[in-house]
């Protein structure tokens, strides 16, 4: 894609408070997203003659915006309110064995388990991972002739490890490749075109708020998947079907339960339009500098970094693991200095964004100084 906005202009649209290092959990929205929501809410509040058509136009707009970032055709994209619902559509629509790591974020393991228990058409093949990382090497020997699909996370939520999508595609052959992209969507310049299914939400790195997401299907995936949860808005009938239940439409449009929230679509669309304007590759390069800065600080204070150090394997996440008897002291020091992070399973996850400022890094340093005393 061609970047049309300078990085500086992009960064100026965000006003997050200093001390926030938890973008892997939730990304504070920017002024453009706020303005878009306010504009759409004004339309909804007044509902003047003809204004509702603007709300109706948001579906095509958001599909165009998603397609511009992932390289799919807009006709292959469906808006979803979150990642988990998109994955539920996928897992309930499959038949056969799906390989997935039990160490993956719960969205995929829950979706496949619920589908297996309810319908019995799909079954999980639980993958062994290398400390949570799925690689082409450790995946190859775990596949069977019954494996019809492989589900991976673009970025491991525990370590920030970026999966090798192209390598995995080569290993799995013509099996469906399902990608839960949320932990890297908007900051990782990934080859999404090698995947058959891409699912993500917009509340993290895209900074569009909750209630935003998408499901994208290759034509092959659309043919394989059965639209189990397909509502009245997902037919070829013009308008709302009345007095009959027509079959689902063909393609990704069948994987819809009801009319989507146009205001959420507008928030997601404008956030993605901004990302496309500046370029994901530019954002990824700037974010690599931010995470490297945190790694250098962790090394300075002798904190064990358990996330990848290689830029190619690292998204926006740095994970440090203090000695077990020092974890409470570290989390308390971060809290006392106003630094927001995620602590899980004995480790501390720090996730900046390109807009993270020097004041935040100064707050982090102060917390580490206090911790090391």
138-176: per-residue pLDDT in tens? 999 999 999 999 999 999 999 999 999 999 999 999 999
Mean per-residue pLDDT, 37-59: 90
* Sheet of strand 197-201: strand arrangement: 77-79, 213-217, 197-201, 176-180, 147-153, 96-101, 122-127
Residues 150 and 228 in one domain: yes
Query: How many domains would you assign to the chain?
Result: 2
Range of the domain at 364: 7-29+280-372
Of 218, 244, 278, the residue at which a domain comes to its end is: 278
Q: Which residues pair with 156 in a beta bridge?
A: none
Of 278, 303, 323, the residue at which a domain comes to its end is: 278
Residues 41 and 153 in one domain: yes
Contacting residues for 105 by C-beta, under 8 A, at least 6 apart: 153, 157, 180, 183
Burial of 146 from C-beta contacts in 10 A (0-12 / 13-18 / 19+)? exposed
CATH code (residue 334): 3.90.1150.10
Residues 253 and 335 in one domain: no
pLDDT of residue 6: 85
d(CA 2, CA 319) in angstroms, rounded, equals 33
Q: What is the mean pLDDT of the chain?
A: 95
- Residue 50 in this model has a pLDDT that exceeds 90: no
- Residue 323 in this model has a pLDDT that exceeds 80: yes
- Residue 211 in this model has a pLDDT that exceeds 50: yes
Question: Nearest-5° angle of CA 85, CA 203, CA 362?
Answer: 150
Over the stretch 324-349, which tens digit does the pLDDT of each residue have?
999 999 999 999 999 999 999 999 99
Is 271:206 a contact under the CB 8 Å cutoff? yes
CA dihedral 308, 310, 315, 318 (to 10 degrees): 40
Alpha helices in the chain (DSSP H): 7-11, 31-46, 52-56, 58-70, 83-92, 107-119, 136-140, 165-172, 219-224, 262-278, 280-300, 327-336, 358-372
């Amino acid at each position: 894609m061609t970047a049309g906005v300078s990085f500086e202009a992009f960064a100026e649209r965000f006003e997050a408070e200093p001390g926030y290092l938890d973008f892997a959990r939730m990304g504070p929205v920017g002024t453009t997203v706020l303005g878009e929501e306010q504009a759409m809410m004004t339309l909804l509040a007044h509902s003047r003659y003809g204004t509702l058509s603007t709300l109706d136009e948001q579906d095509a707009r958001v599909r165009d915006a998603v397609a511009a970032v992932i390289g799919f055709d807009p006709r292959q994209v469906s808006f979803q309110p979150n990642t988990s619902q998109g994955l539920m559509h996928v897992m309930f629509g499959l038949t056969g064995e799906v390989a997935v790591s039990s160490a993956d974020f719960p969205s995929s393991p829950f979706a496949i388990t619920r589908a297996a228990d309810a319908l019995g058409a799909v079954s999980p093949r639980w993958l062994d991972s290398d400390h949570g990382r799925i690689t082409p090497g450790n995946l190859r020997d775990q596949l069977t002739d019954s494996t019809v699909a492989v589900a991976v996370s673009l970025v491991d939520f525990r370590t920030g490890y970026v999966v090798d999508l192209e390598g995995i595609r080569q290993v799995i052959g013509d099996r469906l490749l399902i990608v839960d992209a949320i932990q890297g969507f908007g900051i990782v310049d990934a080859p999404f075109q090698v995947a058959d299914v891409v699912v993500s939400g917009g509340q993290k790195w895209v900074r569009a708020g909750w209630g935003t997401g998408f499901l994208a299907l290759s034509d092959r995936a659309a043919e394989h998947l059965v639209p189990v949860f397909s509502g009245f808005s997902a037919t070829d009938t013009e308008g709302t079907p009345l007095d009959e239940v027509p079959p689902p439409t063909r393609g990704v449009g069948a994987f819809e339960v009801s009319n989507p929230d146009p205001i959420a679509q507008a928030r997601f669309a404008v956030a993605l339009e901004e990302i496309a304007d500046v370029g994901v590759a530019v954002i990824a390069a700037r974010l690599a500098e931010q995470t490297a800065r945190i790694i250098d600080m962790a090394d300075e204070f002798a904190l064990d970094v358990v996330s990848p150090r290689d830029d190619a394997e690292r998204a926006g996440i740095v994970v440090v693991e203090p000695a077990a008897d020092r974890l409470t002291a570290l989390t308390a020091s971060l809290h006392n200095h106003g630094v927001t992070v995620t602590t899980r399973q004995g480790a501390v996850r720090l996730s900046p964004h390109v807009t993270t400022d020097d004041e935040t890094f100064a707050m982090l340093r102060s917390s580490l100084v206090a911790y090391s005393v």
